[in-house]
Amino acid sequence: MEHARKKTRGKDGRKTLPIAAASVKQDRELVIVTGISGAGKASALKNFEDLGYHAVDNLPLELLTEFAGLVGKSKEIARAAIVVDVREGQTLDRLPEILRRVNQILPTRVVFLDAQDAVLVRRYSETRRPHPLRKSETVERSIVEERQLLEPIRNVADTLIDTSNFNVHELRAHIQSRFGHGEKSQTLLVSCLSFGFKNGVPLDADLVFDVRFLPNPHFVPEFRKKTGKDPKVAAYVRGFPQTQEFLDRVSDLMLYLLPHYVEEGKSYLTVAFGCTGGQHRSVMMAEEMAKRLRRAGYKVKALHRDIPR
């Protein structure tokens, strides 16, 4: 999911750079990598470095404008990526204002990495590293405080990436697809994701389908503690005529859309199916759609955000 800041548009409707940045060569760019601690900023910065960006971790905000000027004039550096995060402390409040000045010097994009709280807590537990905000408080409380501090930056981000369901290799492919300047990728990875609306819509979903119109297996006692991966639950959901019609219509839509996404160079697509709790109907739909797209020759994986791990 991407959120774009407003930019000047020409008569043809296309985005144009501010006047002061128009003289900068079009292949020059500054990417600011920011977001929640534990969401993968360090890995993302390495990926940008692999793409040929000059990578800098935790550059002080006071030096950001000067750094952009150096990149704009440098014969050695055309593109740069820097990490700005909560380690800046209270000076983070100045980042939106600084960004306006920097973008007049050099075309600048802000990439905000996020992840679900439960995923962040698990990552901290696995690495046994303390949260950068507090060493004496719980990780959960530190994450809440960090979200509050970073909210102004999140609001001005050009690109929002939810890494909850990414491993390091998938994050790398995702960044390469969006920021690589080479040939278009010929491989499209489709993620069929199930979720529960009661836990919020996935931030990284490109397409969202609401399947709450289907009868809910939750109200069938023998199915309540099972999930849509259980053959009996899947057969129950599949047994309704509206289920088959929905699957056929969405399959036709996907088979129409996917070649166009490939043509545009997109390498990662998340198709999300949501029901109330993310346990039964959405799980069955994600699994079934994944099977259909695999049969059509696409690389697909089925993910289930809210079923018990």
- Tens-of-pLDDT digits for all 309 residues of the chain? 444 444 444 444 443 334 333 334 447 889 999 999 989 999 999 989 888 899 998 888 888 899 999 888 888 888 899 998 887 776 777 888 888 888 888 889 999 999 998 899 888 888 777 787 776 578 888 888 888 888 888 888 889 999 988 888 888 888 887 887 654 434 688 999 999 999 999 988 999 999 999 999 999 999 999 999 999 999 999 999 999 999 999 999 999 999 988 877 677 899 999 999 999 999 999 999 999 999 998 989 999 999 875
* Euclidean distance between the first and the last CA atom of the chain, given in angstroms as a whole number: 25
Report residue 281 CA to chain centroid gap: 24
Predicted pLDDT at 22:
37
Predicted pLDDT at 309:
55
Minimal CA–CA distance to 280: which of 240, 242, 224? 224
- Which burial class, exposed, middle or buried, applies to 282 when counting CB atoms under 10 A from its CB (0-12, 13-18, 19+)? buried
Where in the chain are the domains? 19-179, 189-304
Token pair listed for 232: 């009996």
Angle between the N-to-C axes of helices 281-295 and 241-263, in degrees from 0 to 180, rounded to the nearest 10: 50
Contact 305, 198 (CB under 8 A): no
Minimal CA–CA distance to 69: which of 35, 116, 101? 101
- Which burial class, exposed, middle or buried, applies to 155 when counting CB atoms under 10 A from its CB (0-12, 13-18, 19+)? exposed
Q: Where are the alpha helices (DSSP H) in 204-240?
A: 231-238
Rounded Cα distance between 138 and 121, Å, is: 10
| CA dist 216 → 188, 209, 221, 223 (Å) | 32, 16, 11, 10
Predicted pLDDT at 186:
45
Identify the CATH assignment for 19-179 out of 3.30.565.10, 3.40.50.720, 3.40.50.300, 3.20.20.70. 3.40.50.300
HSE (side-chain half, CA atoms, 13 Å) at 81: 22
Rounded Cα distance between 217 and 224, Å, is: 7
| CA dist 222 → 39, 185, 201 (Å) | 38, 46, 28
Predicted pLDDT at 153:
85
Contact 236, 223 (CB under 8 A): yes
Helix, coil or strand: residue 208: strand
Partner residues linked to 128 by β-bridges: none
Rounded Cα distance between 204 and 224, Å, is: 28
Predicted pLDDT at 182:
53
